[in-house]
Amino acid sequence: MPQEWRSFDDAILHATDKDTESESERVRTLVYADKLEQFPVGFSVEGHEINALVTRAVYDALPDKPILAMVNKSTRSNQHSETSSCLTCNPLSVPPIADLIEKTPFAKILGKRRYEELSKEGIDNLNLNWTRYPEAPQVAGHMLAGAILYNAKTGKGILVNEVEVYGRGRMNDCHQEQSGMVKGVSKQTSVPSTLGDDHYEGVRPVTLLGKDSAHRLVIGTATCSILVTSCLRLGKRDKAPVSVGADTLNFEIPESEVEHIRIFLDCQQAEVAKHMVGKSISEIIKNMGMQSLRQLQTKFDELDTYNRSRFSGPLTATIRFQPRTVFTFANYKNGTGAAYGAGRLFYAIGKAVIRHGKKARLSREDVMEDQKTI
């Protein structure tokens, strides 16, 4: 028996003959093993440890401590040669984002997380009816914050760090995505195609050009549009890998490439979102504060403006990594000047609406206090 058994990760690398490869190749191997749910076991043969990978069911069935056991080396019979050649020429497909993650400077961090492609259940949850399911904005936001968008045509991708969710139709959200005609030409839209042009039926990621020529990266569904407000370009080191704000310049999805976009959800975020369906909205948003208010510029007299539908991914869950908004600006600014005074005022307004809803009032004391900072 070996004097000391290999660690979990070392056993995986030894079993796959990758223990002498480069750091990036070892990380990639560990990511694949995790995604395919392969677990290492060790055998002692004449005092030398030999490792192999097994399924979770086999791994869980084994005892926690070393035992004396017999080992049988199975051989393949000739009658299965045709089947074997089939398996050889059709290997299990490798997650396409694995290579993308491996090349990024953040490979070690992202390699510890698990991702899964958007499924039929996920598409249904992104298209929940807002009238029937008041928790729909929170479900959609949690699902897509932390997701990876991958262009299968170009091989480029981004990690979505922050999103804001907007409803379809004025009755659901006074800040809804604008539609209609401009000089006889239909406006660009993130509403999913009904002609089967999108990769996912009911979900359409696309770049929309705004009035201010801003490139807005939006993931559209039948019931809402999810605006990306912070993202990280994956792959080799770029001059501008990070984009913060509504103008996304480091990753563009033209109409001609919408069908090539694939969405990979962070498994932890997707699981949280799935368990939100059916829960009361008050229970879901009870711990969501000022940082969950969207960055807006108009209609501060409308209650929809204060919907808590701004979400952070797992890597940007703290305030130091989140984009500033009119409601959080005072947290970053020095305690003097007109900008700080305005930030304090919006903070007070947001806090009042979160606490009291329609009955919110801005007190005279709040206004007088802000005047002292200008």
Q: Report the 10 Å Cβ neighbour count for 102.
A: 17
The pTM assigned to this predicted structure is 0.71
Q: Is 60 exceeded by the pLDDT of residue 59?
A: yes
Q: Is 70 exceeded by the pLDDT of residue 85?
A: no
Task: Report the half-sphere exposure of 308 (CA within 13 A, side-chain side).
Answer: 22
Average pLDDT over residues 61-88: 62
Report the C-alpha gap between 174 and 61 in whole angstroms: 56
Report the C-alpha gap between 299 and 353 in whole angstroms: 14
pLDDT band at 201 (very low <50, low <70, confident <90, very high): very high
Compare 169 and 181 and report the one with higher pLDDT. 169
pLDDT band at 216 (very low <50, low <70, confident <90, very high): very high
pLDDT at 90: 36
Average pLDDT, the chain: 84
pLDDT at 94: 45
The string of pLDDT tens digits covering residues 330-361 is 887 666 778 888 888 898 899 999 999 999 88
pLDDT band at 212 (very low <50, low <70, confident <90, very high): confident
pLDDT at 56: 85
The string of pLDDT tens digits covering residues 226-274 is 999 999 998 776 656 888 888 898 899 999 999 999 999 999 999 999 9
Average pLDDT over residues 42-71: 84
144 with 226: CB under 8 angstroms? yes
Q: Which whole-number Å values give the CA distances from 106 to 43, 102, 113, 238, in the listed order?
A: 34, 8, 11, 13
SS (HEC) of the chain: CCCCCCCHHHHHHHHCCCCCCCHHHHHHHHHHHHHCCEEEEEEEECCEEEEEEEEHHHHHHCCCCCCCCCCCCCCCCHHHHHHHHHHHHCCCCCCCHHHHHHHCCCHHHHCCCCEEECCHHHHHHHCCCCCCCCCHHHHHHHHHCCCEEEECCCCCEEEEEEEEEEECCCCCCCCCCCCCEECCEECCCCCCCCCCCCCECCEEEEEEECCCCCEEEEEEECCEEEEEEEEEEECCCCCCCEEECCCCCCCCCCHHHHHHEEEEEEHHHHHHHHHHCCCCHHHHHCCCCHHHECCCCCCCCCHHHHCECEEECHHHCCHHHCCCCCCCHHHCCCCCCHHHHHHHHHHHHHHHHHHHHHHCCCCHHHHHHHHCCC
pLDDT at 228: 96
Percentage of residues of the chain with pLDDT beyond 70: 88
Report the C-alpha gap between 344 and 188 in whole angstroms: 36
Phi then psi for residue 357, to 5 deg, are 60, -130
Report the C-alpha gap between 301 and 304 in whole angstroms: 9
Report the C-alpha gap between 328 and 345 in whole angstroms: 10
Compare 346 and 74 and report the one with higher pLDDT. 346
Report the C-alpha gap between 108 and 55 in whole angstroms: 24
Task: Please report how the helices 267-276 and 136-144 are oriented relative to each other, as an axis angle in degrees rounded to 10.
Answer: 170
The string of pLDDT tens digits covering residues 279-323 is 999 999 988 988 999 999 899 999 999 999 999 999 888 777 788
Percentage of residues of the chain with pLDDT beyond 90: 43
pLDDT band at 84 (very low <50, low <70, confident <90, very high): very low
The string of pLDDT tens digits covering residues 143-180 is 999 999 999 998 899 999 999 999 998 899 999 988 76
Average pLDDT over residues 192-211: 88
Report the C-alpha gap between 95 and 92 in whole angstroms: 9
